[in-house]
């Protein structure tokens, strides 16, 4: 049972942990598959796994669990919440509400406070552009350069 190996476990943590373990195993086992281009390699298919936090810091349980999973497995972490440009700890100076409400399509109450939940989507969305920039910046450091 996965739960016994993950001391910081939630249902989502256990699910992510299982998927990571399963994916790594399946990639490794491709070294034994005669139809695979990774057949007879010592390591199988190289597995690239990247985890991401929620787009802002109000989802503390999720973000902390993802950080611990990334550390456990040694995989890169895209910390949207760290680089998004605002924090749940500071309210907007004009509206007096969390900044996330300005950039979202809906509201989620977390620990009694209404935060923006899903960011406004689309190519012209400031938050989507910001998240894309954060994502691309880290992925250029993770993925191998092919010439």
Q: How much is the pLDDT for 32? A: 98
* Bridge pairing between strands 113-116 and 107-110: antiparallel
Q: What is the pLDDT of residue 64?
A: 92
pLDDT category, 101, cuts 50, 70, 90? very high
Question: How far is 62 from 101, CA to CA, in rounded Å?
Answer: 19
Helices (H), ranges, 1-147? 11-29, 60-73, 80-83, 126-142
Confidence band, pLDDT 50/70/90 cuts, at residue 2:
very low
Q: Output the pLDDT for position 7.
A: 46
For residue 125, what are the contacts with CB-CB under 8 A and spacing of at least 6? 103, 119
> Is it the case that residue 140 has pLDDT exceeding 50?
yes
pTM of the model: 0.84
Give the Cα separation of 79 and 81 in Å (integer).
Answer: 5
- What pLDDT score does 10 carry? 60
Q: Are 67 and 77 in contact (CB under 8 A)?
A: yes
d(CA 120, CA 104): 5
Q: Are 49 and 56 in contact (CB under 8 A)?
A: no
Q: What pLDDT does 142 receive? A: 87
**In whole angstroms, what is the distance from residue 45 CA to residue 124 CA?**
37
Say which residues have a Cβ less than 8 Å from residue 142's Cβ, sequence separation at least 6: 48, 50, 76
- What is the C-alpha to C-alpha distance for residues 24 and 44, in angstroms, rounded to an integer? 10
Over the stretch 41-85, which tens digit does the pLDDT of each residue have? 999 999 999 999 999 999 998 899 999 999 999 999 999 999 999
Q: How confident is the model at residue 104 (pLDDT cuts 50, 70, 90)?
A: very high
Instruction: Tell me which DSSP letter residue 145 carries.
Output: P
Q: Nearest-CA neighbor of 131 among 54, 61, 68?
A: 54
Considering the chain, what is the average pLDDT of its residues? 90
pLDDT, residue 23, reads 96
């Amino acid at each position: 049972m996965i739960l016994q190996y993950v001391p910081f476990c939630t249902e989502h943590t256990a699910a992510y942990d299982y998927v990571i373990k399963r994916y790594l195993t399946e990639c490794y086992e491709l070294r034994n598959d005669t139809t695979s281009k990774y057949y007879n390699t010592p390591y199988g298919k190289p597995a690239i796994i990247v985890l991401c936090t929620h787009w802002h810091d109000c989802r503390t349980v999720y973000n902390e669990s993802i950080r611990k999973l990334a550390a456990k497995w040694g995989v890169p972490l895209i910390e949207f919440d760290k680089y998004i440009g605002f924090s749940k700890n500071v309210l907007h100076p004009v509206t007096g509400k969390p900044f996330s409400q300005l950039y979202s399509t809906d509201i989620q109450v977390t620990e009694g406070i209404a935060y923006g939940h899903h960011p406004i989507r689309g190519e012209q969305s400031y938050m989507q552009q910001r998240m894309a920039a954060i994502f691309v910046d880290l992925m250029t450091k993770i993925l191998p350069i092919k010439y």
